[in-house]
Structure 1
């Protein structure tokens, strides 16, 4: 198959972006971190003191936002914001920001445009249900909230950020609820998605499991 789409969905902290990066490298795919795209919008809103609860205000500034991904760097209006978009402050508001219909429309259109004519792996929450419902392979990653919180704390620590486990766990549970109950493109498993539980798998084991699925369904 010349070009194909792999959709990798799941809740926060399930390992999507880490696994997708390795898979992309191993299979020579274009990797599109859709969550980072929403984080860039959230960062812009934070930096410009926009009230994300005011949908009209958010809609009015969307044309001022240009997001791009170049060589694994996340570019917001010409500036590399790869570190800034991973802060707890951005994490806290990215879910309500991504629930805004105008934001989703803008970024879904961009995701589809970037993916045209390529072998692509995309990770997010609605890739297999909304962005690419006809994806060639759909995978839904899950892991226990506690395991995901441990991973998030460890990830923050690697960036020099100290966060309390209980606080992170609370944030993850709140985000799960927000993401799965929102009106616009809620987090849910596509009917034809294959579920992979990474709670007791390390990165290498998770990558191997998904690599086997790719070889079986698409070829490698």
Structure 2
């Protein structure tokens, strides 16, 4: 039985992982795993159920019993479309906080691996190449300057009509980067065999082309 090919795309918040993952998968005709969405869905569900984000066991239990599916319009939680709700800044901050919990990461591990089906998978996250799909033939570590990431996020929010402060976004990203890179469980780090791509001064199309070229050579 042939192994299902996987391309992992890890990196910090707002580095463009989601967009690049989606476009690479579309070009290859593969499936997509937005692993961050699972953490955001867990955070949203915990907030809706008034579960304390400081209670690791309770948060892990929420993850184990998530009633979630992904459709063309995005994530559906307990029958409700929540594609926009899980992108809210408060949910993102909550997800970043709980993502440090080892019990939560273990609860979501098999759910993430279940996305690996033919013809292939492009998986986006922070530990896709280091923990979830360690045998992936191509691992990308996508980075960008934190100020550029903040400006990109600010532009996205403005285009959606959501008010935001560039200064606050920059501070939030710096705080998330610190949490993600220093947590004890699966910290954000490039896999030893990953290829780092700095998209600070690359367009989406240029970044996608780099990933596809690397895949063709792998």
The alignment's TM-score, normalised by the length of structure 2, stands at 0.94
1:176 and 2:177 correspond: yes
- 1:56-205 to structure 2, matched below 5 A, reads 56-71=57-72, 73-205=74-206
Residue pair 2:64, 2:108 contacting (<8 A) in 1 also: no
The CA RMSD measured in Å over matched residues stands at 1.5
In 1, Cα distance between the equivalents of 2:33 and 2:143? 20
Question: Can you give the 5+ residue segments of structure 1 that lack an aligned partner in the other structure?
Answer: none
- Rounded to whole Å, the distance in 2 between the matches of 1:108 and 1:56 is 16
| CA positional deviation for 1:62 | 3.4
How many residue pairs are counted as aligned between the two chains? 217
Q: Is the 8 A contact 2:60 2:107 kept in 1?
A: no
Classify the secondary structure of the residue corresponding to 1:114.
coil
Name the residue aligned to 2:44: 43
Q: Residues 101 and 162 of structure 1: is their aligned pair in 2 closer, same or farther, counting only changes over 3 Å? A: same
Q: Residue by residue, what CA displacement relative to the aligned partner does 1:55-97 show, whole Å, maximum 9, x if unpaired? A: 1332343344222222351121222110100011111211111
The offset of 1:177, in angstroms, is 0.4
Check 1:96–1:159 CA distance in 2 against 1; reply closer, same or farther (3 A cut): same
Does the Cα contact within 8 Å between 1:2 and 1:119 map onto a contact in 2? no
Q: Which residue of 2 aligns with 1:211?
A: 212
Q: Deviations over 1:98-157 (max 9, x none)?
A: 111222112211011121444000010000000011111000001000000011111212
Matched, 1:25 2:17: no
Per the normalisation by structure 1, the TM-score is 0.93
After superposition, the Cα gap between the structure-2 partners of 1:118 and 1:78, relative to the gap in structure 1 and judged at 3 Å, is farther
Give 5+ residue unaligned stretches, structure 2: none
